[in-house]
Amino acid sequence: MIDEKSLKTLEYHKVLGKLIEFTSFSGSAELVRELRPTDHYDEAQTWQRETAEARAMFADKVNISLGGVFDVRDLAIGAQRSVIIEASDLLSIRSTMRRATTIKRSLGRMKSLYPMLSDLAQQAEECIDLQDAIGAAIDDNAEVKDTASARLAVIRRDLKVAFDRLQTKLNRLLNAHAKSGFLKNSSSRSATGATSS
């Protein structure tokens, strides 16, 4: 491994800075910041072949995008610790998994052209069951669906019924109060009018 002083002399940080400009989200940028040259010949050759494939894919205008990918590492760590994840964060997780699935399958179909990148992509877990579970529980506006669980559906239905009953009672009370106030005002005006005449 090349020592940090040599990297500084070579202005390696500027090379990484240029590379970071081509990253599309924070996870990629962090990986670039951690890159260090290797002093192992085989590893260097592997990296060069991977880079050559990526350049060829770029030159071939292959549409492999990381759009819709979010850095969900902290959320995954939180989930392992039983931290409650917000609905909007669950959508970010699903979006990231969907994109990983798309990239994995797309590169899988292009294995003959980009074998090393295809092999890298095959390491991605698709987690189809988790994607489906999130889609079944959360809508695209990050709202929990009534169908997320049978218990939730019952609770929401009961809340709606209770709210409607409360609304009806309040309306009756307001209407009764308004009528009695109107009658009082009318009768006091009538009495005042009769007295003054």
Token look-up 């590492």 returns: 73
Same domain assignment for residues 28 and 107? no
Same domain assignment for residues 15 and 100? no
Contact present, 79 and 85 (Cβ < 8 Å): yes
pLDDT of residue 2: 79
Percent of the chain with pLDDT over 90: 60
Same domain assignment for residues 45 and 129? yes
Q: Is 197 helix (H, G, I), strand (E, B) or coil?
A: coil
Average per-residue pLDDT for the chain: 87
pLDDT-based confidence at residue 109 (cuts at 50, 70, 90): very high
Residues 28-85: tens digit of each pLDDT: 899 999 999 998 999 999 999 999 999 999 999 998 888 889 999 999 999 999 999 9
Q: Is the dihedral of CA 59, 110, 95, 82 positive or negative?
A: negative
Domain span at 105: 39-148
Same domain assignment for residues 66 and 163? no
Per the structure, how many domains does the chain have?
A: 3
Same domain assignment for residues 92 and 25? no
Same domain assignment for residues 26 and 70? no
- pTM for the full predicted model: 0.70
Same domain assignment for residues 45 and 135? yes
Same domain assignment for residues 144 and 95? yes
Same domain assignment for residues 138 and 45? yes
d(CA 197, CA 192): 9
Reading the block at residue 183, the tokens are: 């009658």
* Residue, of 195 and 68, whose pLDDT is higher: 68
Whether the pLDDT of residue 181 is over 70: the answer is no
Same domain assignment for residues 16 and 80? no
36 burial (CB, 10 Å; 0-12 / 13-18 / 19+) is exposed
Same domain assignment for residues 32 and 109? no
CA atoms lying within 13 Å on the CB side of residue 114: 26
Same domain assignment for residues 53 and 110? yes
d(CA 100, CA 98): 5
Q: Is 57 helix (H, G, I), strand (E, B) or coil?
A: helix
